[in-house]
Amino acid sequence: MLFSNSILFDLVIFTFSLAVAKLVLDRRSSHLATLRGPRSNNIFFGRIREFLDDPATAVDRWVSEYGYVFKMPSVLGTNRIVISDPKAVAHVYANDSFGYQRLSSGKKFTRTFFGHSMLSADGEDHRRLRRAAAPAFTNGALRDTMNVFYDSVYKLKGAWDVLFESHDEVIIDVQQWYDPNSHRNINLMLDSMGIAGFGHDFRSLDGHKSPVSEALDGLLEDSSFRVVLTVGVFFPQVLKLPLKRIKIIRRMQKAFTDIAKVLLENSQQEKEFSDVEKDRSILGLLLKGRSQNTNFKLLQDEAVGQSHLSTNYHANMIVTVSLSVRPTIFLLLACTQTMEKWALVELARHPEMQHKLRRELLQFSGSDPTWDQIVTGTACPYLDAVVNEALRLHPPVQTLQRIADKDDVVPLSSPIKTSSGKMVDSIFIPKGTTVTTPFVYINRSEAFWGPNAKQFVPERWLEENPYPSKDFSGYRHLYTFSDGPRICLGKMFALAEFKAVLSVLIRNFTFELPSGPDTPIGIHKGVLPRPKLADEAGCVLRMRVRQATREGEQSSQ
């Protein structure tokens, strides 16, 4: 009898939940019915697979038919809104983290791998963590990281110079910065960002493997990682299974935590002993936030304001807040590494641009450009243009999803036609609706960037922009770093590393694709879209590398 009552109760709850879900979906669908969009061609996936496979091409086609705002059939009969209208995009991202939040599946995924962090937080929680971390990402705090980036790339240059002692030309797989015949895997960015971000040398340039490098290689190169992570976003329980890829991420998570604890111990020694070498890494600066004698203070309620709590509590809280930036730095590492490879591909495709950039950089043949010269200054306008064009044409994060946390009316720059034929200059988005922004389409749209929008043209950044892209509010009118309250906190950190690497490599080496500028380039669809040789099965990007000469005589220093 008790068993029967239990089953009856479960059935009632299940039926009630279905009814509520149906009411919510019916309400949402009734409002979305006014929007036009492509029809579903798959009962389970709608048009989502087509969209994920090539978002730029799919959205380009749909925008031409339905306008800059349309609905797209998604998983299991649901719909999402896709927006690329400038005013609509600005509105959504101005309210990011409050009116529009990360999808719950994405937040669960981030918490599983990185713990509680800025990436998994929303609203006041996100604002609090961001305010605590922000002092370590200012220009003043980051200026010293240039030396770290230069040290790492010069170690790579030294390794390559050895190869040229017996060869005029060397084949380098720039995907891993190594000579394919040596079987040596070098992760340049891991070393530089490890020191600058975590105060920890992963020694990748010395051939050392670590849980972090193992996870990074898997995320960027192993397609099976993408499958596991994609499934994990929709079904977080998968991330708790004892799978090999999950174990790799867990080991990375533990490694980051151990690094933070060591940094905490070192910061205490700095406080007690004046002759201890100062740690200027991002996490090091955050850990100093508990000191009353530093400008890098953590929020009072996140660190030491509660004097009645134990020292261990303080230490744990500080490590927690410091580790909240861990996924930010890790994602910067992955994204910047991807953008650097795309920049080298485009410069190899356009030898005249590579030569023009080298001529500009040779003004620093006796020294290296400083932070104030190439990050915040204008000493290298063409380097700045090349970097911006790589960010525009090849954004590592191609789309971003948010879910409406409340009913909202979104203004439009240009009116769109509804399913009834009416022209409207705003749209209603009901609470719970998924809103997708296709950054890669926006960055490559001829309507926004002109007739050569799909081509690599750094010169566009040296001229006045006459196109509607100037209406976008992101960094340099790009949404590569997102925008609003959740704009990438470490964008200047990433740009500094990007420019330091290019400035040294292009000054000292020339890069050519195996079959010349017209060598077919494909896309390796891992977690991030990376360039590869189209005729290679794996994520391989071999280039013919030579030592550059100045005025045809001597190698630049």
Per the model's pLDDT, the better-predicted residue between 114 and 312 turns out to be: 114
Per the model's pLDDT, the better-predicted residue between 556 and 422 turns out to be: 422
* pLDDT for residue 553 is more than 80: no
Which parts are annotated binding residues for heme?
Answer: 488
d(CA 364, CA 362): 5
- Structure pTM? 0.81
Q: pLDDT tier at 214 (50, 70, 90 boundaries)? A: low
Q: pLDDT tier at 118 (50, 70, 90 boundaries)? A: confident
* pLDDT for residue 84 is more than 60: yes
* Residues 268, 269, 270: CA angle, nearest 5 degrees: 90
At residue 141, the pLDDT reads 80
Q: pLDDT tier at 86 (50, 70, 90 boundaries)? A: very high
Q: pLDDT tier at 535 (50, 70, 90 boundaries)? A: very high
d(CA 323, CA 330): 11
Q: pLDDT tier at 282 (50, 70, 90 boundaries)? A: low
Mean pLDDT lowest among 37-51, 155-169, 275-289: 275-289
* pLDDT for residue 502 is more than 60: yes
* pLDDT for residue 312 is more than 70: no
Mean pLDDT lowest among 249-263, 290-304, 344-358: 290-304
Mean pLDDT lowest among 178-187, 211-220, 281-290, 402-411: 178-187
Q: Identify residue 396 by its one-letter amino acid code.
A: P
Q: What is the dihedral of CA 442, 444, 446, 451, to 10 degrees?
A: 160
Q: pLDDT tier at 91 (50, 70, 90 boundaries)? A: very high
* Mean pLDDT of the region 225-244: 68
At residue 229, the pLDDT reads 66
* pLDDT for residue 28 is more than 70: no
* Mean pLDDT of the region 535-553: 82
Q: Where are the domains of the chain?
A: 29-105+398-442, 134-300+311-396+480-547
CATH number for domain 134-300+311-396+480-547, candidates 3.40.640.10, 1.10.630.10, 3.40.309.10, 3.30.930.10: 1.10.630.10
Encoded tokens for 49: 């697979």
What mean pLDDT is reported for the chain?
79
At residue 70, the pLDDT reads 96
Per the model's pLDDT, the better-predicted residue between 366 and 87 turns out to be: 87
* Mean pLDDT of the region 248-259: 72
At residue 330, the pLDDT reads 65
At residue 534, the pLDDT reads 95
Which parts are annotated binding residues?
Answer: 488
CATH 3.30.43.20 fits 29-105+398-442, yes or no: yes
- Which helix (DSSP H) or strand (DSSP E) does residue 116 occupy? none
At residue 332, the pLDDT reads 74
Q: What is the largest CA-CA distance in the chain?
A: 95
pLDDT, tens only, 170-203 = 999 998 776 445 444 445 666 666 777 666 666 6
CB atoms inside a 10 Å sphere around CB 314:
17
3-state secondary structure of 447: helix
d(CA 89, CA 82): 10
